A and B are shown apart, each in its own frame.
Chain A
Amino acid sequence: MLSLLRQNWLSAAGGIVALLIVLVALAAPLIAPRDPLKADFRHMNKPPSTEAFFGTDQVGRDALSRVIYGARTSLFVAFSAVLLGTTLGSLWGVACGYLGGRFDALSQRVMEIFQSFPDLILAMAISMAIGTGLPAVIVAIAITRVPFGGRVIRSVALSVSAMPFVEAGRAAGASQFRVMALHVLPQCVAPYLVLATTHLGVAIVIEAALGFLGVGVPPPTPTWGNMLADAITGLVPQWWLVLFPGLAITVTVLAFNLLGDGIRDSLDPKLAPTVLRLVTGVGRGARTAGATTATPATSAHGQPGAA
C-alpha cells in the first residue's frame, strides 16, 4: 500500500474509497439512519432534506438507507461472482497454459464461444434460465467472467511454464499436479489480483444493469440496480431517486478501476509486459506505455475479438 501511495496518489485514493465503501457495506445496520424496507406513507417522494439526505422514494422509504444497504447486496453479488467466476476461469487458465495440447485447444474454443456473447446478454439469458434470485444472479455474472479469467491467466501460465524452474520441478520428479499447484500457480497470483479488481467493477455494472432491467436481485431487497428500476416506475421520475444510486455505482466502479490500475502499475512491468497489458484489457496500457516495449500489434492480438 505504501509503495502504491508513493507511485500513484490517484490509485491510492481509489483504494481508500473502495475500502470505505466496503466498510459502509459491512457496517450497514450501524450506519443506515432508518430501516431500508420500512414504508412511511406520510413522507412519500420527499426531496433531499436534512431529515433524509437522499430524499425518500414512492412509498416513503429512506433513499440513503437504501443506498447503504444496496451497497451490501451489490458488493456481495460482485465479490461472490468474481470469487467464483474469475477464480474458476483462472484455475482453468492455469491448467490450459501448463498442460497445453488438445485440452488447451478445446478449452480455448469453448472460452471464445462464450466470449462471443455480449456480457450483459449472456448474464440475462442465464439468469432467466436458472431463475431470478441472489444465487442465480451471482452464477450468471460469474459465468460471464470465466472466459476472461481463463484466457488472460492462460497466457501468464503459458509463459511461466516455459521458465527453467518449472522444468527443474518436473525434472525433480514432481507430479503434473504438484508442478502446476506449487510452481506455476503462485506466479499467476499477482495478475489474478489485478484481473479480479477490474472484474469487480465490471460485475457491479452488470449487476446494476440486471437489476435495472428487472432480471436481477428481486425487490424489496435494495440493490443499486433495482433502486434505479424503481425510480422510473413513477410517471415523473424524481431526480434524487435516479441520481444517488447511480452515483454510488459510478464512484464504486471508478474506485475499483483506479485500484486495479494501481496494483498493475506497482507490479514489475518487466515481468511480463504483454501479459500485464492483456490483464487490464482495452487500451489500459496508457500509463505503462513508457515502461513496456510491447508493440501495438501484440497488444491488439491479445484482445478477445482477434483470433
Chain B
Amino acid sequence: MQKYLLRRGLFALSTVIGVSLIVFVVLRILPGDPLVALLGVEGHSKMSPADRVIIMKDLGLSDSLPVQYVRWLRDIASGQLGKSFFRGDTVRDLILHRGPLSAEIAILALVISWLVGLPVGILSAVRPNGWADAITRFFSILFIAIPGFWLSMLLVLALLFWFGYKSPILVVHLWEDPWQNLQIIIGPAIVLGLAQGAYIARMSRSCLLEVIREDYVRTARAKGAVERAVVLRHALPNALLPVVTISGVLLGFVLGGSVAVEQAFGVPGLGRALVTAIIERDIIVVQNLVLLYALIFVVVNALVDLSYAWLDPRIRYQ
C-alpha cells in the first residue's frame, strides 16, 4: 500500500509540474507581446520604447522565460502567487476571498449529485425497463445535453419573475452570514449537482445491473435474504466502486461548468474572477487560477484513486 501511495503521489506531482509548464508556455509564448494584450493594439502602438522597457520590467516580463518560470514557482512556494496587472492585490487574496464560495458550490453540487443520482440509479436498476427506469433514462439523457449555464439563466429568469431575485454583488462567507451565503450558492450547486447526478444515475444503474447478475447475489437471494437487503447490502457496495471513480472525473465537469454557471447566476466566485481576468488579459491572475483548477482536479483524482485502492485490494497489489 505504501509503495502504491508513493507511486501515485509522484505521478500526481509530475502531472502538476507538466500542467504548470503548459500554462506558462501557453500564456507566454503564444500571444507574442503581452503588452498588446494588456494595452490593446492602439495603446501598444502609442507607447514609446522607453515606456515599454519600464512597463515590462515593472510587470517582471523583461527577464528570460526560464527566469520568469522559476520566479513563478518561487511565488507559488511563498504563497503570494504574484500580483494582478490591474488591481494591487495579490492572487492569493483573490483566491482566499472568492475561493470559498466556489468550493462550497462544488462540494454541495457533489453532495446533491449523489443524493439525487444514487437513489434514482438504484430505482431504475431494480426494475430495468419499468416506468421509473424509462423516466430516469429520459431525464439523464436530457440533463447530459442541457448546458448548465443555460439552465441557470432560465432559473434566474424564473426567480426574477416570481421572487424579484437579484444577483449577489458581494461575497458573503459562510461564517459571516450562513443564510445569505446559502442563497448565493444554492442555485449553482443545484444546477451543477443535477447535471452530475444524471451521470451518477446512469453509472450506478449500469454497474448495479452488472453486479446483480453475479452468482453471489443469486446466493444471497437463495439463502432467503429480502430483496432490499440483497440490493443495498450485497450488490450495492460492489457497484459503488466505479461510481466513486466517476465522481473524480465529474469534478472536472463541475470545475469547468462552474465558471459559466457562476457567470449566469452572477455569483462572485473564483470562476467569475477567471473570466474577468481572461477578458482583461491579466496573465498573472489567469496562469495562477488555471493552475489552481488543474491542481484541484489532479489532487482529487489522486485521492479518488487511493480511496479506490483502499476499497478494492485487487488494485493495491497490482
A complexed with B? yes
Q: Which of A79-87, A171-179, A264-272, A280-288 lies at the interface? A: A280-288
Binary interface encoding of chain B residues 243-255 relative to chain A, with 1 for a CB under 8 A from any of its CBs, else 0: 0011011101101
Given A120-B257, A297-B312, answer yes or no on A125-B27 (Cβ-Cβ < 8 Å): yes
Q: Is B301 an interface residue (CB 8 A)?
A: yes
Nearest CB in chain B to that of A126: its residue: B26
Q: Is A129 an interface residue (CB 8 A)?
A: yes
Establish whether residues A283 and B209, one from each chain, have CB atoms under 8 Å apart when the complex forms: no
Q: Which residues of A contact B308 (CB under 8 A)?
A: 300, 306
Q: Is A113 an interface residue (CB 8 A)?
A: yes
Q: Is B169 an interface residue (CB 8 A)?
A: no
Establish whether residues B150 and A250, one from each chain, have CB atoms under 8 Å apart when the complex forms: yes
Establish whether residues B255 and A121, one from each chain, have CB atoms under 8 Å apart when the complex forms: yes
Establish whether residues B153 and A246, one from each chain, have CB atoms under 8 Å apart when the complex forms: yes
Q: Is A117 an interface residue (CB 8 A)?
A: yes
Given A243-B154, A303-B245, answer yes or no on A250-B30 (Cβ-Cβ < 8 Å): no
Nearest CB in chain B to that of A214: its residue: B279
Q: Is A92 an interface residue (CB 8 A)?
A: no
Distance in angstroms from A249 CB to nearest chain B CB is 6
Q: Give the contacting residue for A125; candidates B241, B242, B290; CB below 8 A.
A: B290
A242 to B18, CA, bound (A): 40
Distance in angstroms from A160 CB to nearest chain B CB is 25
Binary interface encoding of chain A residues 116-143 relative to chain B, with 1 for a CB under 8 A from any of its CBs, else 0: 1111111011101111000000000000
Q: Which residues of B contact A237 (CB under 8 A)?
A: 153, 156-157, 160
Q: Give the contacting residue for B260; candidates A120, A128, A243, A297; CB below 8 A.
A: A120
Establish whether residues A297 and B147, one from each chain, have CB atoms under 8 Å apart when the complex forms: no
Distance in angstroms from A66 CB to nearest chain B CB is 16
A110 to B18, CA, bound (A): 8
Q: Is B137 an interface residue (CB 8 A)?
A: yes
Q: Which residues of B contact A250 (CB under 8 A)?
A: 142, 145-147, 150
Distance in angstroms from A259 CB to nearest chain B CB is 12
Nearest CB in chain A to that of B18: its residue: A113
Q: Give the contacting residue for A129; candidates B11, B31, B144, B260; CB below 8 A.
A: B31
Q: Is B293 an interface residue (CB 8 A)?
A: yes
Establish whether residues A305 and B205, one from each chain, have CB atoms under 8 Å apart when the complex forms: no
A61 to B295, CA, bound (A): 44
A257 to B137, CA, bound (A): 13
Nearest CB in chain A to that of B142: its residue: A254
Q: Which residues of A contact B202 (CB under 8 A)?
A: 282-284, 286
Binary interface encoding of chain B residues 4-22 relative to chain A, with 1 for a CB under 8 A from any of its CBs, else 0: 0000100100111011001
Q: Which residues of B contact A306 (CB under 8 A)?
A: 245, 248, 301, 304-305, 308
Distance in angstroms from A157 CB to nearest chain B CB is 23
Binary interface encoding of chain A residues 275-307 relative to chain B, with 1 for a CB under 8 A from any of its CBs, else 0: 000000011111001100001110110011111
Q: Is A212 an interface residue (CB 8 A)?
A: yes
A306 to B244, CA, bound (A): 11
Residues of A172-216 at the interface with B, using a CB-CB cut-off of 8 Å, are 201, 205, 208-209, 212-215
Interface magnitude class on chain B: 35 or more
Q: Is A236 an interface residue (CB 8 A)?
A: yes
Establish whether residues B206 and A286, one from each chain, have CB atoms under 8 Å apart when the complex forms: yes
Binary interface encoding of chain A residues 86-116 relative to chain B, with 1 for a CB under 8 A from any of its CBs, else 0: 0000000000000000000000011011101
A300 to B207, CA, bound (A): 10
Nearest CB in chain A to that of B279: its residue: A214
A82 to B274, CA, bound (A): 26
Q: Is B298 an interface residue (CB 8 A)?
A: yes
A254 to B141, CA, bound (A): 7
Distance in angstroms from B247 CB to nearest chain A CB is 9
Establish whether residues A121 and B256, one from each chain, have CB atoms under 8 Å apart when the complex forms: yes
Establish whether residues A296 and B19, one from each chain, have CB atoms under 8 Å apart when the complex forms: no
Establish whether residues B22 and A257, one from each chain, have CB atoms under 8 Å apart when the complex forms: no
Given A129-B26, A285-B206, answer yes or no on A208-B286 (Cβ-Cβ < 8 Å): no
Nearest CB in chain A to that of B211: its residue: A296
Given A118-B297, A257-B141, answer yes or no on A297-B149 (Cβ-Cβ < 8 Å): no
Can you list 27 contacts pairing A with B, beta carbon distance less than 8 Å?
Answer: A116-B16, A117-B22, A119-B256, A120-B256, A120-B260, A124-B275, A126-B30, A128-B278, A128-B286, A130-B31, A131-B31, A212-B260, A213-B263, A213-B278, A228-B153, A239-B157, A250-B142, A253-B145, A253-B146, A282-B199, A285-B206, A286-B206, A296-B241, A297-B312, A297-B314, A305-B245, A306-B245
| Chain B residues within 8 Å of A, Cβ to Cβ | 8, 11, 14-16, 18-19, 22-23, 26-27, 30-31, 137, 141-142, 144-147, 149-150, 153-154, 156-157, 160, 199-200, 202-203, 205-207, 209-211, 238-239, 241-242, 245-246, 248-250, 252-253, 255-257, 259-260, 263-264, 274-275, 278-279, 281, 286, 290, 293-294, 297-298, 301, 304-305, 308, 312, 314
| Chain A residues within 8 Å of B, Cβ to Cβ | 109-110, 112-114, 116-122, 124-126, 128-131, 201, 205, 208-209, 212-215, 228, 231-232, 236-237, 239, 242-243, 246, 249-250, 253-254, 257-258, 282-286, 289-290, 295-297, 299-300, 303-307
* 6 A-B pairs with the lowest CB-CB distances in the bound complex, closest first: A118-B256, A283-B203, A246-B150, A283-B202, A300-B242, A113-B18
